[in-house]
Amino acid sequence: MAALRQRRDSLRRATRATRTMKAYSSDWRQFESWCSLTGRDAFPATIETVSLYVTWLLTERSRKVTTAERHVSAVAHFHKIAGYPIPIGPDVRQVITAVRRDRRETPVGKAAIGVDEILRICKGCDARTRIGVRDRALVTLGFATSLRGSELCRLQLSDLSFEGRGIAVIIRYSKTDQEGRGRVIAVWAGKRAATDPVRVMKSWISRRGRWPGPLFCRVQTGDTIIRQPLSVEAVCEAVKRAVERVGLDSAKYGSHSLRAGAVTAAAELGRSDQEIMALSGHKSAAVMKTYVRRARVFAGRNPLAGVL
């Protein structure tokens, strides 16, 4: 029975994505530290303890509302898997709502990489080196598939299939597909050598070699291939390095800039929500539309045409 309980608890903990659990673990350690300093019990915590902790995060530590909400979710998660009552009451929600109304925080994400910028970035990658060819392939495929950084990291060479009109890319599981039902993205051939996914990916694979394993692997100093996958952080650094080469501010960009750029470009072309979501893998149209709202701001007719 003890062994079964351990396996059960392990399975229950595995219901959330790895990166989410990493964030939750960090948040939980901070909650435990605060409880230790204030003489309160972290496990099980009371509703008052959590409401005071959230107040401390938002006022004394000036954390964002979204950060405080994640901390609350972490506390709830660890109490739930331990079998304790979840110590989240109306007080917590009232504090968060009050601060949200007072601050009116506007979410600031990474800037989207536009169509003109993607061409400049790809041309700026050094095709004489493996790392330059890899970064160009990473940027091109990341834009063409609208994949998250974590999904790009997990791609294997065997997940790509070169077809007559482009590349079929298998996504085995994702943030919105934790059970691994999988899907296939069609990546169409392009018209420019620097950004044509077919030519760019073939160039990278010829430099990488056809050994089975991660599609985007590490390239060590000296331009040496290391048969290990890139981390999410390494993907982000590759994007930042690529945008820096063409004079863009790398602080404004990251791996998510490719995803945001692809969705924005599709919206500017007039593609339907269903077509965009088929590419991006979004399950919620509302979430997807946060990317395209600016692209479609001038869609339709001017209601004041000829008035001003």
- My answer on whether 51 and 136 are in the same domain is no
Tell me the range of 205-214, 262-271, 276-285 where mean pLDDT is highest.
Answer: 205-214
- My answer on whether 97 and 199 are in the same domain is no
Cα dihedral sign, 28-32-38-40: positive
Nearest residue to 205 via CA among 145, 134, 124, 119: 134
Residue 15 has pLDDT above 70, yes or no: no
Share of the chain above pLDDT 90, in %: 54
Q: What pLDDT shows up at residue 144?
A: 93
- My answer on whether 124 and 250 are in the same domain is yes
CATH number of domain containing 73 = 1.10.150.130
Q: What pLDDT shows up at residue 159?
A: 96
- Chain centroid, CA 222 distance in Å: 30
C-alpha to C-alpha distance for 216 and 200, rounded to whole angstroms: 13
Residue 308 has pLDDT above 60, yes or no: yes
| DSSP 3-state of 170 | strand
For residue 290, give Cα distances in angstroms to 87, 245, 287.
Answer: 32, 29, 6
Q: What is the mean pLDDT of residues 260-280?
A: 86
- My answer on whether 43 and 18 are in the same domain is yes
Q: What is the mean pLDDT of residues 184-190?
A: 92
Asked whether residue 298 is assigned to any structural domain, the reply reads no
pLDDT in tens, 44-91: 999 999 999 999 999 999 899 999 999 999 999 999 888 899 999 898
Asked whether residue 108 is assigned to any structural domain, the reply reads no
Q: What pLDDT shows up at residue 294?
A: 61
Asked whether residue 300 is assigned to any structural domain, the reply reads no
Asked whether residue 198 is assigned to any structural domain, the reply reads yes
Q: What pLDDT shows up at residue 173?
A: 78
Q: What is the mean pLDDT of residues 229-245?
A: 92
Q: What pLDDT shows up at residue 84?
A: 92
Residue 227 has pLDDT above 70, yes or no: yes
Containing domain of residue 61, as a range?
2-103
Q: What's the chain's average pLDDT?
A: 87
- My answer on whether 73 and 124 are in the same domain is no
Asked whether residue 166 is assigned to any structural domain, the reply reads yes
Q: Contact 50/75 with Cβ under 8 angstroms?
A: yes
Q: What is the mean pLDDT of residues 81-107?
A: 87
Asked whether residue 286 is assigned to any structural domain, the reply reads yes
Share of the chain above pLDDT 70, in %: 91
For residue 185, give Cα distances in angstroms to 30, 145, 193, 280, 297.
Answer: 40, 7, 21, 9, 28
For residue 184, give Cα distances in angstroms to 17, 90, 117, 276.
Answer: 21, 43, 27, 14
- My answer on whether 210 and 146 are in the same domain is yes
Task: Give the residue from 103, 129, 145 where a domain finishes.
Answer: 103
Asked whether residue 308 is assigned to any structural domain, the reply reads no
- My answer on whether 125 and 228 are in the same domain is yes
Q: How many domains would you assign to the chain?
A: 2
- My answer on whether 14 and 99 are in the same domain is yes
Residue 273 has pLDDT above 90, yes or no: no
- My answer on whether 199 and 252 are in the same domain is yes
Lowest-confidence range among 173-177, 238-242, 263-267?
173-177
- My answer on whether 180 and 260 are in the same domain is yes
C-alpha to C-alpha distance for 297 and 149, rounded to whole angstroms: 28
